[in-house]
Each structure stands twice: as C-alpha cells, then as structure tokens.
Amino acid sequence: MIYLNAFLFVGTICLIGQLILDNTTLTPGHITSLFTVLGAFLGFLGVYESFIDWAGVAASVPITSFGNLLYKACYEGYQMNGVLGMFTNLLSGTSGGISSAIIFAAFLTLFFKARD
C-alpha cells in the first residue's frame, strides 16, 4: 500500500505542476519557488508530517520537502538562539542535499555535453 500512496502523492504534485505550467504563463522556476513556499507553509501548519507518514519516503523527495526542511531548520534555530538562530541554522538541514547536488552536477558535466 505504501507504494501506491507514494505514487499518488508524487504523481499529484507532478500533475499540479504540469497543469500550472500548461495553463498559466509561469515558468518552471516560478513553479519550483511556488512548491517550495507551499512545502514550508504546509510544514508550518503541521500538515506535511502527515504526508510523510502517509506516503513514506516519497514525501521527502519532491521540492515541497525542501520547503518543509527549510521551515523546520529555521524553527529549530529560532528555538535555540532566537531570531539570529533562524538565519544561522537555515541551511543546516539541507546542506547535505545541496552539496551533493553541486558535486554530482559537476561530476556529470565531465561525461555529458550540454545542448543549446
């Protein structure tokens, strides 16, 4: 059942993104930003944790999860060090993913040629 829930969750996010892309003038960058803010907002409301419980690890893969992680790291920083902690702790929860994306992208450019 977890596979079906994972497929439904990620598929719904992809469907919403594709509908927005097809029916508006928003660019993929706008949609990415929109989903990141949506993930942070759902994390603020406490709803995103129920998505993770329902869909499993699939809920931690899409871009909405990045917004949720940013919110959680910001909130933890606020609890530890106040307002300044919000800024100093902001990327601590996602730095591993960001660093690996940069390293893998640099590595893949050695083997693949970009097209215009």
70-89 pLDDT, tens digit per residue, is 899 899 989 998 888 888 88
| Distance separating alpha carbons of residues 26 and 48, to the nearest angstrom | 25
What is the separation, in whole angstroms, between the first and last Cα of the chain? 42
pTM score of the predicted model: 0.79
Look at the alpha carbons of 44, 49, 50, 52 in this order and tell me if their dihedral is positive or negative.
positive
| Distance separating alpha carbons of residues 73 and 68, to the nearest angstrom | 9
Is pLDDT at 116 greater than 70 in this prediction?
Answer: no
| Distance separating alpha carbons of residues 94 and 73, to the nearest angstrom | 8
Residue 56 tokens, joined: 């499993």
Q: Distances in Å between the alpha carbon of 81 and those of 12, 77, 100? A: 37, 6, 28
| Distance separating alpha carbons of residues 6 and 2, to the nearest angstrom | 6
Nearest-5° Cα angle at 37, 72 to 82: 35
Query: What's the pLDDT score for residue 22?
Result: 94
Is pLDDT at 93 greater than 80 in this prediction?
Answer: no
